[in-house]
Chain A
Amino acid sequence: MTPDPITDSVLQRHGVTREEYDRIVSMLGRNPNLTELGIFSVMWSEHCSYKSSRVHLKTLPTTGSRVLQGPGENAGAVDIGDGLAAVFKIESHNHPSFIEPYQGAATGVGGIIRDIFTMGARPIALLNSLRFGPLDDPLVRRTMSGVVSGIGGYGNAIGIPTVGGEIGFDRSYTGNPLVNVFCLGISRADEIIKGTASGVGNAVYYVGAKTGRDGIHGATMASAEFDDTLNEKRPAVQVGDPFMEKLLLEACLEVMKTDALVGIQDMGAAGLTCSTCEMGSRGGAGVEIDVARVPQRETGMTPYEIMLSESQERMLLVVKKGREAEVERIFDKWDLHAVHIGEVTADGRLRVKEHGKVVADIPNRALTDEAPMYRRPMATPGYLETAQKLDLAALPAPPSPREVFKRMLASPGIASKRWVYRQYDHMVRTNTLLLPGMGTAVVRVKETPRALAMSVDCNGRFVYLDPFLGAQLAVAEAARNVACAGGLPIGATNCLNFGNPEKPEIMWQFGRAVEGMGAACRALDIPITGGNVSLYNETDGSGVLPTPVIGVVGLIEDATRVVGRAFRSEGDAVVLLGETRNELGGSEFLHVVHDQIRGLPPQLDLAQEAALQRVLVEGAASGMIRSAHDCAEGGVAVTLAECCFDTQLGVTADLAGVAAAAAKYRETAALFSESASRVVVSVAPAQVAALTAMAEKAGVPARVIGRVGGSRIQIAVEGTRAIDELVSDAERIWATSIESWFAQRRAIA
């Protein structure tokens, strides 16, 4: 091989530093050629190598008695009993979704689904966590509309229900929306399949869509900030084909039922490069392929382009020698053509040939385990000191509680997401026990008595104001949501969305958030079985709110005892579990009324949180708790209202006063404070004593605040009526706020 001259501009185009290049040369013992440089550049990109985040991620708790598969495979897996496993993961597709919202989001869904069925699991649920700028910006509406259509377009067609999720809005996401997609599947616990290549001489197969020039350097793009060259980056976004993926899904699951398969991996970021070297590296083997045998969509493609293409819906399989025909027959049935492109070798190298001539030859481990790892400098951000100061007394007096209540219900962060979830098929597979808008997402596991609750959460404002505490609050909220439905949290996956890690202040946010997430997961005994990091979420040098999203999975032993958020019966007692403090820092109230992100996030006592969740799970299992809803954005007032909407049952409540709020904010704090570890539950009047006794025993404050009934939402603070609205009026404000932004005449912008 004659090495190509690698100049500084070539390195820059590949996002490889001079130091990294020197390292490549020393690992190879020679200069790389351009194809090899391309392979290194994608595998050493932030997106694939986690080079800035790995040192931090290693500190997260990843083990537990139920963990069947921790980080390092295509997805994590936990034991859910009856010999079954829940296989799940969350992943981001932020950068592509801004460039081309529909396809960016669609291919994000396609990618996470492949990660799940690659493990031998049948995907049964999708969730997503989305962030956009304010809806008064036409560009934001276009982005959001495209993202939602893309998620629906892919998930609906492939027949996996999108059962839940969350959406947040903040100016910082205008030029950099977040699209995080979670998928969960079910497999036999003893039939989980790994992404491993082993057994010298075993055949390496390529199956799925043909390889085109689309998406070349997608992983590198996702590892850089956006600037005014954005439009030039469009060809790096791929186009999804959910029909092809449906065929792959069914065919792969059928192949997996045979024992002809050694390992399988999807070609996601960094395509053929990543799948070959990762499978080889995991199996301690080498992989040799000939790119001339790879099915190609376009003519004249170079080995460089074939290795780096990120065309969608492609899988790499290692098949046991002698079993090839059996596997080919199954793919033929599904009109898919499985192509034998290479073999497993003994030398631990990725060797790429073109018509038999070697065009790249690299030790697998140099691309995977031995990729660079940086401990990047961290520094406390300059904004923090000012931002953390909140002096309520110095703020103007708030509008009337009634006015604030209505503005909160209309705030897109709180308002009904019906316009969105109506575009998602959330019922296919007929397992959805709580429909979107009725509480935490819950799907039953057919042929068992069990169900799984899932929640994805993160309040970026809290993380911005205190990354350690904010990340803890995210874990606590997701686990609490799962517990509200009656689920015992048993595992989690994370998607860490941050700005440019080369900035010490961003790296500090990241490091502190990971510490907080780890601490909370340890305290609540929730192992993190995998996830994804998305850095460089910046446009023109300005970063998004730090957004470490966590997805928690909870196990419900009895699928007939699922608890929703809606009030169920006239006359039921309404009980507030937990304590309301003067905690308006980073709240929806401050955002909606004063357009500020200030103060300290609510405090969190993790032991108290764990105790609360035990009460919720036990109260659900015994059938005592009839409804449960977490108090999050908007505080108790908004929570009470949301409990009324689904069944159109009213509520009369009287809240305790809150100590130490500035006098003019006393009422506001009682109604809208976002103190953590609080849940509004309803129980039959005869069960009040039993519930309060159970809470007391667990050390959880419990106070009867009112009763269900009538057609109005009536909330008083210390006996003084503060809010009094018809349920139907409040619901109209809440239900129509988001869709009014998308009424057709406004959408055309």
Chain B
Amino acid sequence: MKFAVVVFPGSNCDHDTEYVARTVLGQDVELIWHKDSSLKGADAVILPGGFAHGDYLRTGAIARFSPIMQEVSKFAAAGGPVLGICNGFQVLLEAGLLPGAMLRNRSLKFRCEFLHVGVEQTDTPFTMACRPGQRLRIPIAHGDGNYYAEPEVVAQLERNRQVVFRYVSASGEVSDEANPNGSVNNIAGICNEARNVVGLMPHPERACELAVGSADGLAVFESILKWGRESFDGDTLTMATAPAVLNK
């Protein structure tokens, strides 16, 4: 399995994501500079966390114009798995690969802490190794993670089962107390209609070893590997088979 981790100027979780893919999971991984125009044959693409272009103008607003984003869009359109974590999620929203927008946290403060998210959908490349309803203890670290979309868009997301992750309490309840930033319907992560593009605000790559507080985030990465195993035909990834795998 080969991962591409896109590096925008200001990305700062690129090394952490690369470390998980290479050292924790023993996979092939390449950091791809945002000015590149090739994903170098990657099987899965991750847009990492950080402050691309300093978050100036709006989070993700400038990064969507980077040359590599055309390739990411093409890759996504062909069914390739694309994961946006935190700032990467914000970039996906700005790029129109996912619906909605991010507002300032309702506390108006940056917030960094471990919390719980519930996995609601397991038919995406990033959750297929999870149990439905599985709770993951993973951290957030953001100032603009307050997910917003028009009511009809939110209704559509819910109807299409596109809400993949939701903030929950330690016992699994979806409550206002468990919502760290004011996101509509406690939404922590969503997917596109084709279910191959996923964005989430929490950082699974920061929770892949017990030594750093939790290994729950591994479920996300193990899902990618599982997806890879089930999508590979011999040595070549056959994109055409991906939706079939997902719809199983």
B9 within 8 A of A: yes
Per the 8 Å Cβ criterion, residues 1-23 of B in contact with A are 9-10, 12-13, 15-16, 19-20, 23
Q: Are A431 and B212 in contact (CB under 8 A)?
A: yes
B65 adjacent to chain A (CB < 8 Å): no
Among A538-575, those with CB < 8 Å from B are 559-560
Task: Determine which of A156, A244, A247 lies in contact with B110 in the assembled complex, contact meaning CB atoms within 8 Å.
Answer: A156
Q: Which residues of B contact A244 (CB under 8 A)?
A: 54
Of B91-99, B169-177, B203-211, B220-228, the segment with at least 4 beta carbons within 8 Å of chain A is B203-211
Tell me if B40 counts as interface (CB < 8 A to partner A). no
Q: Is the CB of B16 within 8 A of A428?
A: yes
Q: How far is the CA of A241 from the CA of B55 in the complex (A)?
A: 11
Task: Give every chain A residue within 8 A of B114 (Cβ-Cβ).
Answer: 435
List the A side residues contacting B49 at CB < 8 Å: 428
Instruction: With A156-B141, A157-B10, A429-B15 as known contacts, state yes or no: A423 contacts B109, CB within 8 Å.
Output: yes
Select the residue from A246, A335, A421, A425 with max chain B CB neighbours within 10 A. A425
Fill in one digit per residue for A355-378: 1 if any B CB lies within 8 Å of its CB, else 0: 000000000000000000000000
* Known interface pairs A241-B54, A422-B111, A422-B113; A430-B141 also in contact (CB < 8 Å): no
Residue-wise, chain A 411-444 has the 8 Å CB interface mask toward B (1 for contact) of 0000000000111111111111101000000001
| A158 close to chain B: CB less than 8 A | yes
**Bound Cα distance from A560 to B211, whole angstroms:** 8
B51 adjacent to chain A (CB < 8 Å): yes
Complex Cα distance A92/B139, Å? 31
Among B10, B16, B49: residue with most chain A CB under 10 A: B10
A-chain residues with CB within 8 Å of residue B88 when the two chains form the complex? none
Residue on B nearest A152 in the bound complex, by CB: B110
B212 touches A246 (CB 8 A): no
B51 touches A242 (CB 8 A): yes
Report if A247-B12 is in contact (Cβ < 8 Å); known contacts: A425-B110, A426-B112: no
Interfacial chain B residues near A156, Cβ < 8 Å: 51, 110, 112, 141, 143
A-side contacts of B9, CB under 8 Å: 243, 246-247, 334-335
Q: Which residue of B lies closest to A334 (CB)?
A: B9
- Shortest C-beta distance, A144 to chain B (Å), equals 13
Bound: A423/B206 CA distance, A: 17
The docked-state distance in angstroms from the alpha carbon of A421 to that of B139 is 14
Q: For the complex, is B50 an interface residue (Cβ under 8 Å from A)? A: yes
With a cutoff of 8 Å between Cβ atoms, the chain A residues found around residue B19 in the complex are 430, 446
B211, A444: Cβ atoms under 8 Å? yes
Shortest Cβ gap from A181 to chain B (Å): 17
Are the CB atoms of B54 and A427 closer together than 8 Å? no
| Contact (Cβ within 8 A) A427 B205 | no
Q: Does A284 contact B (CB under 8 A)?
A: no
Instruction: Select which of A242, A427, A430, A446 is within 8 A of B112 by beta carbon.
Output: A427
Q: Is A201's CB within 8 Å of the partner chain B?
A: no
A270→B143 CA distance, assembly (Å)? 33
Residues of chain B within 8 A of A159, CB atoms compared: 12-13, 50-51
* 8 A Cβ contacts from A733-749 to B: none
What residues of chain A lie closer than 8 Å to B110, measured between beta carbons? 149, 152-153, 156, 423-425
| A424 in contact with B112 (CB, 8 Å) | yes
Residues of chain A within 8 A of B209, CB atoms compared: 430
Report the minimum CB–CB distance from A739 to chain B (whole Å): 11
Contact indicator A422/B211 (Cβ below 8 Å): no
Given contacts A335-B9, A430-B16, contact A422 B212 (CB under 8 A): no
Looking at A241, A421, A435, the one whose CB has the most chain B CB atoms below 10 A away is: A435
Q: Which of A246, A426, A431 contacts B10 (CB 8 A)?
A: A246
Q: Chain A residues with Cβ under 8 A from B51's Cβ?
A: 156-159, 242-243, 246
B53 at the interface (CB under 8 A from A): yes
CA gap between A431 and B19 in the complex, in Å: 11
Complex Cα distance, B49 from A241, in Å, reads: 18
Whether the pair A427, B55 counts as a contact (CB closer than 8 A) is no
Contacts of B112 in A (CB 8 A): 156, 421-427
Residues of B within 8 A of A243 (CB): 9-10, 51, 53-56
Interface size on A, residues (CB 8 A): 34
Residues of A313-337 whose CB lies within 8 A of B: 333-335
| The one of B54, B111, B205 that contacts A242, using a Cβ cutoff of 8 Å | B54
Is A432 a contact of B212 with CB atoms below 8 Å? yes
Q: Mark B137-156, 1 if CB is under 8 A from A, else 0.
A: 00101010000000000000
Q: Which residues of the other chain, A, contact B133 by a CB distance below 8 angstroms? A: none
Please measure, in the bound complex, the distance between the C-alpha atom of A71 and the C-alpha atom of B111, giving whole angstroms: 36
Contact A433 B211 (CB under 8 A): yes
CB neighbours of A153 from chain B (8 A): 110
Instruction: For residue B120, give the distance in angstroms from its CB to the closest CB of chain A.
Output: 25
* Minimum Cβ distance to chain B for residue A594 (Å): 35
Kindly state the separation between the CA atoms of A157 and B142 in the bound complex, as whole angstroms. 10
Q: Do A158 and B211 form a contact, CB below 8 Å, given A242-B54, A426-B112?
A: no
Which residues of A sit under 8 angstroms from B113, Cβ to Cβ? 422
User: B136 CB to closest chain A CB, in angstroms?
Assistant: 15
CA gap between A423 and B141 in the complex, in Å: 9
Chain A residue at smallest Cβ distance from B23: A446
Query: A246, B211: Cβ atoms under 8 Å?
Result: no
Question: Which B residues touch A422, using CB under 8 A?
Answer: 109, 111-113
Residue of B15, B114, B205 with most partner-chain A CB within 10 A: B15
Inter-chain contacts of A425 with B (CB < 8 A): 110, 112, 141
Asked whether, in the complex, the Cβ of A559 is within 8 Å of the Cβ of B211, the reply is yes
Question: Considering the chains assembled together, what is the distance between the CA atoms of A185 and B72 in angstroms?
Answer: 34
Chain B nearest CB: distance from A117 CB in Å? 14
CB nearest to A122 among chain B residues:
B15
Q: Nearest-CB distance from B180 to chain A (Å)? A: 10
Closest to A162 in B: B112
Contacts of B33 in A (CB 8 A): 333
Report B-chain residues with C-beta under 8 Å of the C-beta of A433: 211-212
Residues from chain B with Cβ under 8 Å of A247 in the complex: 9-10
Q: How far is the CB of B47 from chain A (nearest CB, A)?
A: 15
Smallest beta-carbon distance A743→chain B, Å:
11
Report how far A427 CA is from B115 CA in the complex, Å. 13
Q: In the complex where A427-B203, A430-B19, A430-B212 touch, is A246 in contact with B109 (Cβ < 8 A)? A: no
Residue of B nearest to A245 (CB): B54
Contact B206 A427 (CB under 8 A): yes
Question: Within 8 Å of chain A (Cβ to Cβ): is B213?
Answer: yes
How far does the Cβ of A280 sit from chain B's closest Cβ, in whole Å?
Answer: 32
**From B13, B109, B143, contact of A428 by CB (8 A):** B13
Smallest CB separation, A145 vs chain B (Å): 9
Tell me whether A423 and B10 are in contact (CB under 8 A): no
Contacts of B111 in A (CB 8 A): 422-423
Most B C-beta atoms less than 10 A away, residue of A244, A334, A427, A444: A427
A157 to B8, alpha carbons, bound, how many Å?
Answer: 13
CB-contact partner of B206 in A333, A334, A430, A446, under 8 A: A430
Shortest A446–chain B CB gap in Å is 7
Q: Which residue of A lies closest to B208 (CB)?
A: A430
C-alpha spacing A431/B112, complex, angstroms: 15
CA distance A444 to B33 in the complex (A): 27
Mask: chain A, 437-462; 1 = CB below 8 Å from B; 0 = not? 00000001010000000000000000
Chain A residues, CB < 8 A from B12: 157-159, 246, 428
Whole-angstrom CA separation of A426 from B203 in the bound complex: 13
Residues of B within 8 A of A158 (CB): 12, 51
Q: Which residue of A lies closest to B213 (CB)?
A: A435
Q: What would 28 A/B residue contacts be, using CB atoms closer than 8 Å?
A: A153-B110, A156-B51, A156-B110, A156-B112, A158-B51, A159-B51, A241-B54, A242-B54, A243-B9, A243-B10, A246-B54, A421-B112, A422-B111, A425-B110, A425-B141, A427-B203, A427-B212, A428-B12, A428-B206, A429-B15, A430-B16, A430-B19, A430-B205, A430-B206, A430-B208, A430-B209, A432-B212, A435-B114
Ordered nearest first, which 3 A-B pairs have the shortest CB separation? Answer: A159-B12, A243-B54, A157-B51
Given A427-B206, A430-B16, A430-B212, list of 20 further CB < 8 A pairs?
A156-B112, A159-B12, A242-B51, A246-B9, A246-B12, A247-B10, A335-B9, A422-B111, A424-B112, A425-B112, A427-B139, A428-B206, A429-B16, A430-B20, A430-B205, A430-B206, A430-B208, A432-B212, A432-B213, A446-B23
